[in-house]
Each structure stands twice: as C-alpha cells, then as structure tokens.
Structure 1
Amino acid sequence: MLAKVTPLMLLLLSPLPAPQPSTSNTEGDLLFLLDSSASVSRHEFSKVKEFMWDLLQPFTFGPRDVQTSIIHISTTPSMEFPFDQHLTSSALQKAIGATRQLMGDTNTGQALSYAREKLFSSQAGARPDVPKVLVWVTDGFSTDDISEPMQLLKDRGVTVFIVSTGRGNFLQLSAAASPPSDRHLHFVDVDDLPIITPELRDAIRGRLAPAGAAGFRLVWPQLLSQESGFYSLEYGPGANPAARRSLQVPGAQSSLVLSQLAPGTTYEVTLVPESNERYFPPRGWGTRVTTLPEEISPAQVLISDSGPRSFQVSWAPVLDSVATYQVLYGPLPGNSAQVLQVDGRHNSTLVEHLAPNTTYLVTVTAIYRSGKEKSLSAKACTLEGERGQHQEGPQRVTCPEGDSESMISSLHQSQAVLPASPGMGSGIPLEQFPAPAGLFSPQRAPG
C-alpha cells in the first residue's frame, strides 16, 4: 500500500518534452511576502508593487491555474486578499495597485509562521495538493528570528525565493532560501528589479508546471547530499503493480523527470531517502499523479477561400509530437484521391487543380513521431464557374450530395502505404491512386 501523502514531498508536474516558455499551462498557489514595515521607503514599496505585477503578468489565473496572495510583514502580519479572490489579470492588477503600506516593525518571523498557516488553509483560498511557492521581497532586515519558521515552511514542501533590495545578511538569507541559493536568492537594487524579473518568472514557472501526457517532474526538499546518501524511487501505474519500476537517485538531486509514461494514467510514486547520518521513515513518502490525456491533432479541420479550382485547408492544434501531416482529397462521389504532404510545423495548405462546382472529401491525417496516426475529415465545395472567384457579392456554391461514407474509409485504408516525403507548405500532389470503395467510417476516424 502506498505511504500516506505528506507535505514534505512536493510534486511538480511538467509537460514533456521540456516546458515551453508559456505560463498559460501552470498550476499552484503563489504567495508574496511583502515587507510593508517602516524600514521600507514609499518609493521602494511602490517599486516592489510594480515588480510583483510584472512578474505575474504572463500567468493565467483561476481555480485550475495560478492563484496568488500577498501577506504584509509588519508589527502584526496580515493578508491583503485570499488566494481565490482575484482570478483575472485585470482584477489582480487593480488589487496590487490598491495595496497600501502598513508601516510598523519588521517582524518577518511572525509573518512566515502566518504564511505557513495560510498557504495550507482552505479558508484563505489555498488548495490541497498543488505546488506552493513563496516569494519574499525584503530590504534585508528583520526584528525577529526567521530560521525556524522558514525551515518549517520548506519542510512542508514550499519553494522559497528571496529578493533582497537592501544589504541584508548573505549567510542568513542563503540559508533561508530554497537550495541551491544561487537560483533562489537575488540581491538587486530596488530600481533594477526588472533585470531579474524574467529569470525569476522562469524559475517560478518551473515550480508550477503541471502534468503532461508523456510524463511529469518530481521535486522534493533537499534532504541529502552527494556524500550522505541516496534516494530509492519507485513508480508505476496504480492499476498494474507488476509494472512498477525502481531506480536510485543521487543524494544531491532534488528533482527528477519521469518520461515515456502512458497518457491519462494514474501513477503511484514512492520516494525513500537512504542515509547513514539521519533517520527517515522507512516507508518514505508517496503520492499519486494522473498524466494528462493525450492531446489530439487534428481536433478540427477548416475549409476556407474556396474558388472554382482551389480551396484552403487548415487544422488545429499543431503539436511538437507530430512529424508530418497528410492531406488526402477526392471528389464525391468518386473512387480516386490525391495526397499532399505537409511539414508537421505547418497547419494549412492550398489544394489546387480542382473541378468547379464539385464536392470534395478532405481528410487530414497527423503522423506522430511515435508512428501513431490520427485523422479527421471534412467536406469542401468548389465554386461554380471559372469566373466565380472574380465575382462581387455573394457567390453561389452548389454542393451535390454524394456517397461520402464510402470515400472516407477508402482514404484511411490507402494512406498507410503512402511513401514519406519531405514536402512542406502547400505541397505538390505526391501520388494519385485508386481508392477501393465501400469502407467508410464516421468523420472522426480511429487512430
């Protein structure tokens, strides 16, 4: 049986291959610890608010995306707004702009204890089982101890980034930030905060990335070193214990990518630290994660710019996992078809040399790098007459009904024997061949 999930192990999930530079596919609770004490000038406070908004701008907010909140460091800590209050960019921008400095003492330790409570409180809008990230913006001073409350936060799996705009104690702040400190601790003048914004945003995004169809990333607190031990990791589909795999992870690591997994599958993961210097529970820590369903292309096919002799075929989405697209087309009724080969990076092609006033069946097939194929079909009609494309106003398109059912299936059967081609863009018909009739299936063809 899988060990009980504890907050000590933070599970982060990212699409594979490497995450794209978009922040629209992220999930987690992001908390800003804002120095609102009297040690911060009005100018500094204003600049930090600008910095927070610049950092957040590209993210998508919502109950299944990123949620954020602000806790003030002052004599008594307070929350500016709960995580689930502002779930649009415009609302969040207004809320940050309306944030007022509280003044008072710099009781950062109290604020950290308060943050630990709120980061895991449903009453504060926080969510269970999502990554937790804390960004502490400070002038480098605190009137109380921060070491213990900060360690308690990190022990619960919170990733801590620190931005110091003052002199600060390097050793103290290095110990407070998540390891390695060179990635989680920044010293910068308050007027130069935009310099570190892209790097910090990318680091935060890496901690908030969700599961993909091909795999996920595990991230956990750094419990060991290269010399002090190693981790034993086991993972496998929950429905098939016999398929579990084991591997050994060096003690210096605090993250690992698990790839080549099945989409839409729940995996059970167990991590056990092995050390001769420190005691850890023998069963380690475990969690479950479900990979996303595989994204399918093409999910839609669009016919546009029809003329007497041509029309444009477009499809979406375009996926990195697709090597090439084949566009098969033929008249209805009929028993022949032609094929265009289109590079996997493109999402449209022009089909030319057609007969006027004719209905065509068009099938777009995505050929994945894995060898799998997915197809989707649509009808297209050419305009009547050679002058149709030059006429002003509405143009009459007559689409005679044909035996579309027999055509789709024929195309799907024939496509498997087509030779690959490096053709790109609009393409040139590579091969014309007879399509055996009478095999048809519904318009979304099986892959």
Structure 2
Amino acid sequence: MLPWTVIGLALSLRLARSGAERGLPASALQGDLLFLLDSSASVSHYEFSRVREFLGQLAALLPVGPGALRASLVHVGSRPHTEFPFSQHSSGSAVQDAIRAAAQRMGDTNTGLALAYAKEQLFAKAAGARPGVPKVLVWVTDGGSSDPVGPPMQELKDLGVTVFIVSTGRGNLLELSAAASAPAEKHLHFVDVDDLHIITQALRGSILDAMWPQQLHASEVTSSGFRLAWPSLLTADSGYYVLELAPSTDPGAARRQQLPGNATGWAWTGLDPDTDYDVALVPESNVRLLRSQHLRVRTLPEETGPELIVVSHTRPRSLRVSWAPALGPDAALGYHVQVGPLRGGAAQSVEVPAGENSTTLQGLAPGTAYLVTVTAAFRSGRERALSAKACTPEGERSRAPRPQPQRTGGREP
C-alpha cells in the first residue's frame, strides 16, 4: 500500500498545483497586480481599444479574489490616474468589465511620473495593497515617454516588484530591456497591436509564476548579486527570519541578515562574479517548528566592455568609430553610440545592434573636438560605457587664383 500512498500523494499535489493555476483555490495564490496603461494622446483610439481588450482578456484568466490575486489599473497621461484600486473588484470578470469601461485620458506621456505613482499604489494600504505579498507590474506602452523611465523603474525593481513590459513595436529595445525584469526575454514582449492575443497565455503563466513562490528561489541574477523570494511562512508577530549567504568554496565567509516575519524577499548585492553561493533561509518561530530552506545560486560572469575605442576615417563632417566587442554571459543586447562637441552643443546618438562593433557618425562640424561614448546594454539591465575624444579636420578652404604674369606682343621702343 505504501507505493500507492506515495503515488496518490504526488498526484494530489499535482492536482492542487494545476487547480491553483486555474484559480482554484484562489487562496493558494496571493499577490498585487498593477496594470500600467498608456492612455496618452500618443496612442490612437484604435490602439487603445485593442490594448484595453487585451488586458481585459488577460485579467479574466487570472485567479482574482479577496484573499488571492488583486488587480488595479493606472493610466499614463499628463498626470497618473487610478481607474480602480486593488480592493475594488473581487473576480477576474469584474476586473475585465472595469478595464473595458476605461476611457482614454489623453495628454502627455509622462510614464516616469506614473511609475513613481505606481510605486506608492503598490505599497499603500489606502489603495488596497497588502504587505508581504508578491508585487507585479504589467506596463503596456507604444514605446515613447516624455520623461525618464529608468530611475523610477529601478526603484520598483529594488523593492521586489516584478516588471513585465508589452510594447506595441515602436519602443527602444535597449531601454525597454533595461526597464523590464531580468531576463528580458521572459519579461519583455514586442507585439503588434493586432496580435496581442498571441502572448496572453504566456504572459498569464509568467504572472502566476511571479506571484506563486512555493519555496526559496532566486531571480534578477547578475554578475554582482541576485534577489531572493520565498512564501509567507511567518507573520510579524510569530517570529523572524535569518538569511545566510556564503561562497560555496569558503563557508567561513558567511554573511547573515535578520528579517522580520512578514518579509518575503531580499536582495544580495556586492557579490563576486561567476561564483557559487549557498543560501539558507532559517525561519525562527515561537509558534511552530519550520524547516530551513536551502538554495545554491551562481552569479553571472562579469560583463565587460566595450573596450579600446578606435576613431578612423576622419573627414570634416564624419568619422568612423570602432570598439572591441563587449563580453558577458550572452554578450550585449546592443550598443548606444553618442557624440557631442566638447565645448557644448547638441549631441547625436546612433543605435548599433548586437554583433556589430563599428558605425560611421555623420553630420559633424569641421575642425571640432568631440566626445564619443559607446554604451553596451546587457540582458541583466546593467550598462557599461567607454568614451574617447575625436577631432574632425578643417574643411578645404577655397583658394584665390594666382595672378598670371602679363605678356606683351612686342618690344618697347
């Protein structure tokens, strides 16, 4: 009977997992999901209606419930606007209806301002957000923004928010790859507005994975750190966690961090590249005995480059820039080359795809000193830059014709 008992237990666990992914029971999954919708005038009414329908269909597939997943919708415009808070709707169909009823706000595309507002909403009790549950942001954009996106997005990720980005095709690959959670290929989607339905199931699965940490696991792994997440095992009143980290080859160099019982995540930074680390999560409870959880995480190799910038083929109005290609786990996503006069003035930039390591800069001024900067963007979201000086030669000056000696037809008398 023992083998059948084991098989029955395994089958029960599998059914429980698959049932939770369908939304049953909803209490098995908890998290706060914020939809950030570009509602500015840069989006046509047709595009807005297609994106709104996509988000509605996505919400209908999620296990929304009071004790499970909660959803909120925030508009991007001149000023951010909350369509509905986390606590307003208690089912996926109700969220779908609310999204379908949302009207376009128009105005400027101040995405950075909306992201700062979203950070407040994701952690504000007044907005229905809950402490100690996974946080996920789904940003749907046409690719443009009137204000910087990088700093506020990094603040969200530093707080443990998982960021998914859906671009309808006109976004900058390097900027959006850096803004999305790592790895970018899992968290960033470029889709035509009429084909959004293609990614609905995949995005749903990724959102559920981000909101359902069954045990200690690592994400956002880079060459210098990673983020840890675990299920809610304690409360603030029932105990605390001790988190231990040590290089696998040097257990004596362990680092420890004590965290409150309502914590569900922590980020380790300042680590060595290409190194195995052993992690232990030890729950200390005065209510019940809980087993510690263990994990081994390997940091990525150090991302280096670009290196050795070479300037050649200098002309009065152009020059060629080459560089040693970047090195890393997957090399670079691409390069951003910027050139501007050393004495000040307008700068110009060129995007160079991965696999290429040179470009020709045109439209320069003769006899001018420039600063050329090559930036490599990696899948981890980090960037490496190198600069060099270059000078265009003076243009050819027009020369006055030489005076010709006068000739006479005969001798003077």
Instruction: Normalising by structure 1, report the TM-score.
Output: 0.49
Q: Which letter maps to 1:209?
A: W
Q: Does 1:139 align with 2:142?
A: yes
Contact 1:231–1:248 at 8 Å: present in 2 too?
Answer: no
2:129 aligns with one of 113, 126, 136: 126
Look up the match of 2:76: 73
Contact 1:31–1:69 at 8 Å: present in 2 too?
Answer: yes
Q: Does 1:36 align with 2:39?
A: yes
Paired residue secondary structure (1:29): strand
Does the C-alpha gap of structure 1 residues 138 and 271 become closer, same or farther in structure 2, counting only changes over 3 Å? closer
Paired residue secondary structure (1:217): coil
Q: Does 1:273 align with 2:268?
A: yes
Does the C-alpha gap of structure 1 residues 229 and 58 become closer, same or farther in structure 2, counting only changes over 3 Å? closer
Contact 1:233–1:270 at 8 Å: present in 2 too?
Answer: yes
2:215 aligns with one of 192, 214, 217: 217
Deviation at 1:231, TM superposition (A): 8.9
Does the C-alpha gap of structure 1 residues 110 and 248 become closer, same or farther in structure 2, counting only changes over 3 Å? same
Does 1 or 2 have the higher relative contact order (CA < 8 Å, sep 6+)?
A: 1
Between the aligned partners of 2:35 and 2:139, the Cα distance in structure 1 is: 6
Does the C-alpha gap of structure 1 residues 114 and 221 become closer, same or farther in structure 2, counting only changes over 3 Å? farther
Between the aligned partners of 1:34 and 1:193, the Cα distance in structure 2 is: 14
- What does the per-residue CA deviation read over 1:361-387, in whole Å, with 9 as the maximum and x for residues that have no partner? xxxxxxxxxxxxxxxxxxxxxxxxxxx
- What does the per-residue CA deviation read over 1:121-141, in whole Å, with 9 as the maximum and x for residues that have no partner? 011111111110000000000
Look up the match of 1:111: 114
Contact 1:234–1:247 at 8 Å: present in 2 too?
Answer: no
Identity %: 50
Does the C-alpha gap of structure 1 residues 52 and 219 become closer, same or farther in structure 2, counting only changes over 3 Å? farther
Q: CA RMSD in A?
A: 4.1
Q: Which letter maps to 2:80?
A: P
Between the aligned partners of 2:174 and 2:97, the Cα distance in structure 1 is: 36
2:60 aligns with one of 52, 57, 60: 57
Paired residue secondary structure (2:215): strand
Contact 1:73–1:108 at 8 Å: present in 2 too?
Answer: yes
Contact 2:139–2:166 at 8 Å: present in 1 too?
Answer: yes
Higher helix share: 2
Deviation at 1:286, TM superposition (A): 7.5
Contact 1:28–1:65 at 8 Å: present in 2 too?
Answer: yes
Look up the match of 1:352: none
Between the aligned partners of 1:156 and 1:232, the Cα distance in structure 2 is: 12
Look up the match of 1:22: 22
Between the aligned partners of 1:275 and 1:219, the Cα distance in structure 2 is: 19
Does the C-alpha gap of structure 1 residues 19 and 75 become closer, same or farther in structure 2, counting only changes over 3 Å? same
Between the aligned partners of 1:49 and 1:233, the Cα distance in structure 2 is: 31
Contact 2:244–2:281 at 8 Å: present in 1 too?
Answer: no
Does the C-alpha gap of structure 1 residues 276 and 156 become closer, same or farther in structure 2, counting only changes over 3 Å? closer
> Which segments of 5 or more consecutive residues in structure 2 lack a partner in the other structure?
1-11, 249-260, 274-278, 289-413
Q: Which letter maps to 2:132?
A: D
Does the C-alpha gap of structure 1 residues 43 and 287 become closer, same or farther in structure 2, counting only changes over 3 Å? farther
Deviation at 1:271, TM superposition (A): 6.1
Contact 1:232–1:246 at 8 Å: present in 2 too?
Answer: no
- What does the per-residue CA deviation read over 1:173-203, in whole Å, with 9 as the maximum and x for residues that have no partner? 0000000000000000000000011111100
Paired residue secondary structure (1:148): helix
Q: Does 1:149 align with 2:152?
A: yes
Q: Which letter maps to 1:22?
A: R
